[in-house]
Structure 1
Amino acid sequence: MTATKRCIRAEDLYQIRYTSDPQLSPNGKSVAFVETMIDEQRQYRNHLVLQSLDSKDLTSLTVGAVRDTFPRWSPDGATISFVSNRSGTPQIWLIDAKGGEARQLTRCKTGVSNPIWSPDGKHIVFSSMLSPEDSFSDVEGESKKEVQKVIVVNRMKYKSDDHGYIYDKSKQIAIVNVESGEMRAISEGPYNHTVGAWSPDGEWLAITANRAENPDKQHSIDVYLVPFSGGEWKKVTKSKGTFFFPTWSPDGKKLALIGSESDTHLHAAQKRVWVYNLENDEQTCITAEWDVQVGDSTIGDVRSPGHPNPGAVWREDGKGMYFIASERGNSGIYHTTLDGQITQIVGGSRNVYGFSLHEKAQKLIMVVSDTASPGDLVEVDLDTKEEQRLTDVNHDLFAELELPAVEEIEFEAEDGWKLHGWLMKPVGYQQGQKYPMVLQIHGGPHSMYGNTYFHEFQVLAAKGYAVLYTNPRGSFGYGERFVQACCGDYGGNDYLDLMSAVKYACNHFDFVDETRLGVTGGSYGGLMTNWIVGQSNQFKAAVTDRSICNWLSFYGVSDIGYYFTAEEIMANPFNNPEKMWHHSPLRLAANIETPLLIMHGEQDHRCPIEQAEQLYIALRYHDKAPVSFIRFPGASHELSRSGDPQQRVLRLEYTADWFESYLLTAEKASV
């Protein structure tokens, strides 16, 4: 380590900033984007920033203790709409593109999301979560009824890790007049609807929705065309699979969709680009022969969830589209023609997680992260493919830090499957010395580790650990067969893949001390951590985070449990409880001798805290391994990514302290 630099610390999270959601102006001369940071009160703040592409000057459009997101230009480029919580709940606000005071447009009691301008700039479509007794005209801050003494639940999907207890609420869509503020609902019923895009002539809205007879049991998501002036909806897709992010061709005769027709795989289906032709009602998958996941599947811990996906962005001549895809730990930007000829536009060892295109100006603005950068804007000249970095929001902080080296690895599983991952060296690495190693296991399981910034890995490397992270079967980025290979086989070949990674690292990196190994992961990664320490004593310490230990109880308590288990475990408690118990790490609790730290959020609806409670009590009962249980009040499943900043830092400190007790302390005592 150089004398002028220091190791990164968990609390450096409070200083890290990142950019997102770039939006090029209609004239292509400037870009609006969101900059996210944590303030002195340890609260998230999002501000809108405007950058000139000629002068490169930056202008802060919004400041203060606010969360301003989703900037969108009016068609004439004079106004920018955005979503802000400055009035208490997220509402649509408008601001002059030259700056000034923002004007509040909506005052919906339940807040709004995803506002999109009409082509003539006179209206904005948006969505909101409503109960049957609510309306879009209900004003924020006004309550119609007293606090309920009882709540009657009638739906299976009555809670959500994103929204908490939703009971009978559903996402509805409305249109607001920009001048008068007058609103008109365009959807209703016990169905969730998501804003898509306006047709070029402004006469139709493309939206997505699950309007099945029983949306709790039928999970297809269809695309609908809704006439702006009212009237009958047109259903585009066939209630088979899931489709998202509809975008219109410039002539309004076609729709591009991202999705899959798979009925058996909701989570593990590889997404592709489709085109629906309005003139002949034909739907075609134009990337059918390309075995690559469309969209960004990279997982990180310094980016807000739900980053807007631009979908497939059409060329002006309507002969092709640009889109993001994920492959082998990288996500880049690709172009496809209508006959499926695919070309990579932006590649490299990095994570592109958003972009905006202005074809006339031949400019593309993307947001990019890599292993040493949380996220900045980059301008791409589409003619020359030359790139220019526009922002460097962490320059001052990262100039102080010594960051670890990262090496990409390739190895084979026990059955010969090709596997891929990374080994992050400890900061201050010196040749000839031995270092403890921590295996990190991602969640999902259908996500992807990649060439992106991961604060947790950086903190562990700064503490003196090698960090091994890999994509076992079940991960996106390696083809559809690979991503679906763990379904019905949790704890089988995916477990062997992880152990093969450890074996490879121990055999090929002489600085790895195979007598001092740790393992950790969250969600599915927590499940596999539990499974590993129930199968093996190879690891000297483990940290399980937001985990699953019992599929039988998970079925009825998770917000996705009853249908997730059907796809992922291929069983339910009624047709094959033995299989569900077989894949449950709780079954192995009596075998666990590895010191285990259990951490869990108390408001986690995805993997509810009863999973952690069961595991903790079982380990205490068997009294074979040191175990500690850390509960985070108010925390959801997003604890480690977008949860309370102070809880995120505490979680990192507890993790590092646990590993230090079992992987570093013994070494220090023997010196």
Structure 2
Amino acid sequence: MKPEEAYSIRLISDVLIARKNLFHVETWIEEDKYKSSIFLNLKRITFQGNETMPKIYNDKLYFVRNLDNQSILLEDQPYGEPKTLLTLGKIHKFEFHKKGILLIGEDNADKNEPFKANKLKYRFDSRGLLRTRQSLYLFDGNSIRKIVSGDFDVIDLATNGDRVVIAATKEGDDYGLGDLYEVDLETSELKRITKGEGAVQAIAMNQEGKIAYLGHRKGLTPWAVLEIILPEEEKSFICGKSCGNKVLSDLFDGAKDKLIFEKNIITTLGQEGGTSHIYQIIDNKVEKITHGNIVVRGFDYKDDTLAYFYSTPEKPVILKYNEVEYDPNPNVKGFTPERIIINSNGLDIEGWAIIRNPEAPTILFIHGGPHMAYGYAYFIEFQFFANNGFNIIYSNPRGSQGYGEEFAKACVGDWGGKDMEDILNFVNAVKEKYKLKGKIGITGGSYGGFMTNWIITQTNIFSAAISERSISNLVSMCGTSDIGFWFNVIESGISDPWSREGIERLMKMSPIYYVKNVKTPTMLIHGEEDYRCPIEQAEQFFVALKMQGVPTMLVRYQGDSHEHARRGKPKNMIDRLKTKLEWFNKYLT
């Protein structure tokens, strides 16, 4: 398989039920660009290749057309071109209200002007310098005005056409903490609904004006399981082991967490192990709606009817509506992994293996987060390397989400400790089970890149390594990452990263501290606009390895953020697979 073939798939990024009709958005790569179009009952109805967010209101279709530097809200017309309603620098969401159309969006900003930072959170990965923030707008049919804005983000919006509630980072912006607020559209006055501190991922409102949100009230806790919370009724529910979906994939569909509150039914996703499914909360009871080894990535629920799209290791995406299943990639059939459970230091660790040939080389993949998870989603990269003759193995060590909060928290303060032992124990178990005889390589991104760097400082059992968007120095990351100043502190189990004790602790948890031990040929891959794990992390490790004579290469991708392997520039993603294949062919075959 060639890298171009791996990315020739079509994906689904949104689905909408309206008056018993099914709309969906299809996404693909064409001429080095991401394209998207709207489909009605499986037939394409928009054709410029940059349309998304379909909604029906008063029997009219509304949607967004995204251009390079602006988003346009359009109203479809029976004859002729769609009518342009308004233009913003970026439109993230829109909903209909009796006073007009509510939007979460951003203004345009001049990126060539000097930028002056005066707060901790002044840039963010995939957004760059925060010259504009996500605000709430109201379009009354003639003009647009800003309702809620400031040096924070409005992150979600819900309305029943009368009441308006937003989620915003108004009081916890530096740390990404969110709250719910009721909005007075006339005065812009905000009335805070949530209490305490926590995260808000998505909100929903039913026709009666009742609200629910996906999140938690556990403060600054990246490992916390998410719940469905009804703040005005003081109720909360957990779907599976955690609400939402933290099962990773490298599909470029842009799927996001959501929930729907229809009448008295709340519909959302829940995760258990390596699966994610649709759950419904009815009469204070949680019911699992879908089943099997799948990862549901998006859904809609309307008038007792459900539509959703899901991924499997064999299929990038399947859209299901009533009894109809639609596969936009009928000729794609991935390899099926075998599930493996091992016991490591008293915990059951779930993992998977695609074994092509026990004599062939094997690649170990380590996920990021660390509170994300691998599972039953299609992985472009796994299938690419399996198609090129490699065995593929991957697991969910302690720290992974989907196994309960204590499991997810079990790596905090111990990065490179028992989580590393879980990974190495899994490798040894797989080697023994399948009698693997070939060389083994290691790769991972973000925390997986940290773990790749860390492991090669602790052992020489791997014949080659590729570390992506990685961490090598937890101290310097505190001052350069968009979240490092708090995330590294929490995850490392310290209180002050700039105290002598804090610096010493962070350094001793950093791969760079042990870099003299490395013998493994190591490639470092990084996006130049990565603000989550800035490229200086790779630069440090590369220079240190180079000065010691370790075979190494630094690959830099211009214009790519921390999402370079999932939503990077298409030509860069293709080159990345080609470059990784060349490195592993050189040192593993």
Shorter chain as normaliser: what TM range?
over 0.9
Q: Normalized against structure 1, the TM-score is what?
A: 0.84
Within the candidate set 282, 295, 304, 2:253 is matched to 304
1-structure distance, mates of 2:22, 2:430:
44
Structure 1 residues 11-20 or 488-497, which shifts more? 11-20
**Counterpart in the other structure of 1:273:** 228
2-structure distance, mates of 1:249, 1:328:
30
2-structure distance, mates of 1:231, 1:620:
57
**Counterpart in the other structure of 1:192:** 153
Task: For residues 596-651 of structure 1, give each alpha carbon's deviation from its aligned partner in whole angstroms, at most 9, with x where no partner exists.
Answer: 1111111111111100000001011122x211111111111111101111110111
2-structure distance, mates of 1:34, 1:259:
26
Q: How does 1:424-503 map to 2 (within 5 A)?
A: 424-426=354-356, 429=357, 434-503=359-428
Q: Tell me if 1:80 matches 2:61.
A: yes
Q: Tell me if 1:164 matches 2:131.
A: no
The structure that has the greater radius of gyration is 1
SS at match of 1:617: helix
1-structure distance, mates of 2:149, 2:186:
16
Within the candidate set 248, 269, 277, 1:332 is matched to 277
Q: Tell me if 1:542 matches 2:465.
A: yes
**Counterpart in the other structure of 2:350:** 420
The change in CA–CA distance for 1:303 and 1:231 in structure 2 (over 3 A counts) is closer
- Check whether the contact 2:104–2:157 (CA below 8 A) recurs between aligned residues: no
Task: For residues 361-401 of structure 1, give each alpha carbon's deviation from its aligned partner in whole angstroms, at most 9, with x where no partner exists.
Answer: x3210011111111131124xxxxxx430x22112x42xx6
1-structure distance, mates of 2:551, 2:111:
48
- Check whether the contact 1:91–1:107 (CA below 8 A) recurs between aligned residues: yes
The one-letter code matched in structure 2 to 1:62 is T
Q: CA deviation at 1:448?
A: 1.2
- Check whether the contact 1:440–1:469 (CA below 8 A) recurs between aligned residues: yes
SS at match of 2:317: strand
**Counterpart in the other structure of 2:206:** 249
**Counterpart in the other structure of 1:384:** none
**Counterpart in the other structure of 2:518:** 592
2-structure distance, mates of 1:315, 1:188:
29
SS at match of 1:101: coil
Q: Normalized against structure 2, the TM-score is what?
A: 0.95
Q: Tell me if 1:350 matches 2:294.
A: yes
Q: CA deviation at 1:250?
A: 3.0
The change in CA–CA distance for 1:46 and 1:99 in structure 2 (over 3 A counts) is farther
Q: CA deviation at 1:48?
A: 0.9
1-structure distance, mates of 2:148, 2:188:
11
Q: CA deviation at 1:529?
A: 0.4
**Counterpart in the other structure of 1:124:** 101
Superposed structure 1 runs of 4+ greater than 3 Å apart: 228-232
The one-letter code matched in structure 2 to 1:36 is T
Task: For residues 425-475 of structure 1, give each alpha carbon's deviation from its aligned partner in whole angstroms, at most 9, with x where no partner exists.
Answer: 22xx4xxx5222110001111111110110100111112111001111111
1-structure distance, mates of 2:336, 2:112:
55
Q: CA deviation at 1:69?
A: 1.7
- Check whether the contact 1:34–1:47 (CA below 8 A) recurs between aligned residues: yes
2-structure distance, mates of 1:298, 1:373:
15
The one-letter code matched in structure 2 to 1:293 is S
SS at match of 2:231: strand
1-structure distance, mates of 2:541, 2:177:
34
2-structure distance, mates of 1:146, 1:409:
49
SS at match of 2:561: coil
The one-letter code matched in structure 1 to 2:32 is R
The one-letter code matched in structure 2 to 1:259 is G
2-structure distance, mates of 1:455, 1:195:
30
Within the candidate set 111, 116, 122, 2:90 is matched to 111
**Counterpart in the other structure of 1:61:** 45
SS at match of 1:257: strand
Within the candidate set 217, 222, 236, 2:193 is matched to 236
Q: Tell me if 1:561 matches 2:518.
A: no
2-structure distance, mates of 1:412, 1:170:
46
1-structure distance, mates of 2:516, 2:466:
17
Q: Tell me if 1:176 matches 2:139.
A: yes
2-structure distance, mates of 1:146, 1:602:
17
The one-letter code matched in structure 2 to 1:620 is K
2-structure distance, mates of 1:467, 1:392:
25
Q: How does 1:93-112 map to 2 (within 5 A)?
A: 93-96=74-77, 101-108=81-88, 110-112=89-91
**Counterpart in the other structure of 1:667:** none
SS at match of 1:107: strand
Task: For residues 164-215 of structure 1, give each alpha carbon's deviation from its aligned partner in whole angstroms, at most 9, with x where no partner exists.
Answer: 1115x322111112x42x11211132222123111x3x22211011222x73
2-structure distance, mates of 1:600, 1:654:
12
- Check whether the contact 1:204–1:228 (CA below 8 A) recurs between aligned residues: no
RMSD value over aligned CA atoms? 2.0
**Counterpart in the other structure of 1:10:** 3
**Counterpart in the other structure of 2:27:** 36
The one-letter code matched in structure 1 to 2:39 is V
The one-letter code matched in structure 1 to 2:220 is T
How many correspondences in the alignment?
A: 586
2-structure distance, mates of 1:9, 1:125:
45
Give the unaligned 5+ runs of structure 2: none
- Check whether the contact 2:485–2:497 (CA below 8 A) recurs between aligned residues: no
The change in CA–CA distance for 1:519 and 1:301 in structure 2 (over 3 A counts) is same
- Check whether the contact 1:125–1:173 (CA below 8 A) recurs between aligned residues: yes
SS at match of 1:237: coil
2-structure distance, mates of 1:322, 1:151:
42
Q: CA deviation at 1:285?
A: 1.7
Q: Tell me if 1:283 matches 2:234.
A: yes
Q: CA deviation at 1:258?
A: 1.1
The change in CA–CA distance for 1:533 and 1:183 in structure 2 (over 3 A counts) is same
2-structure distance, mates of 1:220, 1:526:
26
